[in-house]
Chain A
Amino acid sequence: MTDALLQIEGLTKRFGGIVASENVTLDLRMGEVHAIIGPNGAGKTTLIGQLMGELTPDAGRIVFDGQDITALPTYERSLMGLARSFQITSLFLDFTALDNVALAVQANAGHSFRFWRDARTESVLREPARAALARVGLGHRADVLAANLSHGEHRLLEFAMALANKPRVLLLDEPMAGLGPEESARMVAMLRELKRELPILLIEHDMEAVFALADRITVLVYGRVIASGALEMIRANEEVRQAYLGEQEAVHG
């Protein structure tokens, strides 16, 4: 466990009578994709919210790179290298694609109390942003307003922003949501390549993608971890089958 970059210990979060996270303990190690699966309402997005500091847990702690970050505000966690993508696309729609990514670059380029120089001409911001766009295959759409991009392109742009954010860990909240089969395949290929550079905590409903990418899987049901382990173990786990996988098969079958 010493090579865990991100550790979550006993995280608990309640909303009134509803328990969104119940004593969740898991970790993310270097070089791995750790997938979190579970039915709707299992508390997956709530978990990411707590990791990013948008929600305050009622109990438990979060340790990133040896430092307890449970009480840090969102922006400080981001600057430390926690980058997230949003389940529901969260972009600057009235900015161009390049402006969106350039803002993510700017966040990591020192303070922004710079009032005079035209930021859109600063190559230290624009070049890395262009590179991130090119990496996700949106290079040719750089000057298009984000509002005018397709849904698939929005997902890619989300991803480019996370990449431009100098991440050390990626927290991806359903990156495949709403993607066509072709776009999904491309996203999986991209994540597989990326996994060599940094560990990824992946929340995903697309089981094909999960089994293609994940090294370990944690199954959440009603905020509780019901199983956690390597792929084969999860596949074989009866409780998981009943709670989740079976349900899926039934739907698809």
Chain B
Amino acid sequence: MSDRLTARNVFVAALLALLVLLPAYTHATGNTFIMTLFTRIVILAIAAVSLNLIMGFGGMVSFGHAAYLGIGGYVVGILAKEGINAGLVQWPLALLLSGLFALGVGALSLRTRGVYFIMITLAFAQVVYYVANGLDRYGGDDGLTIQARSQFGGLIDLSNRTLFYYLCLALLLATVYLVWRMVNSRFGLVIQGARSNDRRMRAIGFPTFRYKLVCFVIAGVLCGLSGVLLANHTNFISPALMHWTRSGDLIVMAVLGGMGTVFGPVIGAIALLVLEETLPHLIGLGSYLVTGKEVAAAKEYWQLILGPMLLLVVLFARGGIDGILARLRRD
């Protein structure tokens, strides 16, 4: 909260420096894998930040947030397949459709709360998932390879990995800044007030439904952007983009990193995806130390370690990693 040199601020600054300097490391070492990984991390962090806007600040636990990744991705993929590669057509259309989908889902689901809200958002996401499965022209459940990334004339070449990474990073930071401005604005206070005590909000004169709906749509559009970037990153779309476990991953990112702050989900996205990559190796290493040879099969059980870690965070560190960092100084 303060502008001081707290442990958390130092950590966030270090993290940002790392993200900015990453391409230099890649250039120096030729390690492109880590750049690919972090491009993915940065893109999914946008989705996690957008989810946190409705979940952490608005108390709307959407279990169908991956649907927007799919919509964003499929708009890019389908248009590319039909020969429309112009980013200025693809991107706005993707964001528009994400927003419209959110408007429809929100208009229905926001009339419910708790478990019902979670189930309805999940149900809508599953509908989109199965629709994508049935799109035979666009690969059905096999997915579709995108021949060319979005074109922006000579403005920016997305097939340049470094440029693309920096574009994603810039969009992530812009998203974080936007959400930060928003949650501290009048609009943001209404959203947080509705999370805290919806009934009281109505009693003091706020039509909370429409504010929550607008918030839901904004989050959908931001997550649609993440989907657009993801499709451009992998040059491939498939229904797996919006499998329900992906929605779960996004929730985990937000919870793990910390829902109380705007930047928390970014930390969570980095933590989850880096763990996902490194835990199998650590298990391999461990099995080597114990048995003298690497047990390849053991690597598949990395989630056995991730699960308890999540449990510990949820049980003992409400506020996630970000919350732990914020407490370091106070104690």
> Chain A residues in contact with chain B, CB under 8 A?
52, 54, 73-75, 78-79, 83-84, 86, 90-95, 99, 102-104, 106-108, 112-120, 122, 125, 161, 165
Using a CB–CB distance below 8 Å, which chain B residues touch chain A?
A: 181-182, 184-190, 192-193, 196-197, 199-208, 211, 214
Q: Contact: B206 with A107, CB < 8 Å?
A: yes
| Chain B residues positioned under 8 Å from A117 (CB to CB) | 185-186
- Report how far A208 CA is from B255 CA in the complex, Å: 51
Known: A73-B207, A106-B186, A114-B186. A91 touches B214 (CB 8 A): no
Chain B residues positioned under 8 Å from A112 (CB to CB): 186-187, 189-190, 206, 211
**Which A residues touch B207, using CB under 8 A?**
73, 75
CA distance in complex: A106, B184 (Å): 13
Total of A-B residue pairs, C-beta within 8 Å: 93
- Contacts of B201 on A, CB cut-off 8 Å? 103
- Say whether, besides A52-B203, A54-B199, A107-B205, A114 and B185 are in contact (CB < 8 Å): yes
Chain A residues near B199: list those with CB within 8 A.
54, 90
Interchain CA distance A106-B187 in the complex, whole Å:
10
Bound CA span A52–B187, Å:
24
Contact of A114 among B187, B200, B202 (CB under 8 A): B187
In the complex, which residue of chain B has the Cβ closest to the Cβ of A90? Answer: B200
Contact present for B181 and A90 (CB under 8 Å): no
B205 touches A78 (CB 8 A): yes
Contacts A92-B193, A114-B185, A115-B187 given; does A108 touch B200 at CB 8 Å: no
Could you say which of A94, A107, A108 contacts B196, with CB atoms under 8 Å apart?
A94
Task: Determine the distance from Cα of A117 to Cα of B184 in the docked complex, in whole angstroms.
Answer: 7
CB–CB A74/B190 < 8 A: no
Which chain B residue has the least Cβ–Cβ distance from A162? B204
* B196 lies within 8 A of A92 (CB): yes
B323 → A minimal CB distance (Å): 14
Once the chains bind, are A115 and B181 in contact (CB under 8 Å)? Answer: yes
Q: Which single residue of chain A is at the shortest CB-CB distance from B210?
A: A113
Closest-by-CB residue of B relative to A119 is B186
Which residues does chain B contribute within 8 Å of A94, judged by CB atoms?
192, 196
Q: Which residue of A lies closest to B184 (CB)?
A: A118
B136 to nearest A CB, angstroms?
A: 42
Bound-state Cα–Cα, A59 to B206, Å: 26
| Chain A, residue nearest B211 (CB) | A112
Complex Cα gap A73–B208 (Å): 11
| A115 and B202 in contact, given A90-B197, A92-B197 (Cβ under 8 angstroms) | no
Contact A103 to B203, CB < 8 A, known contacts A115-B187, A118-B184: no
| Contacting residues, chain A, for B203 (C-beta < 8 A) | 52, 54, 74, 78, 84, 86, 90
Is B205 touching A108 in the complex (CB atoms < 8 A)?
yes
Smallest CB gap from A117: residue in B: B185
With A75-B205, A107-B206, A117-B186 already in contact, 17 other A-B pairs whose C-beta atoms are closer than 8 Å: A54-B199, A75-B208, A78-B204, A78-B205, A86-B203, A92-B196, A93-B196, A95-B193, A99-B189, A103-B190, A104-B204, A112-B189, A112-B211, A115-B187, A115-B188, A118-B185, A119-B185
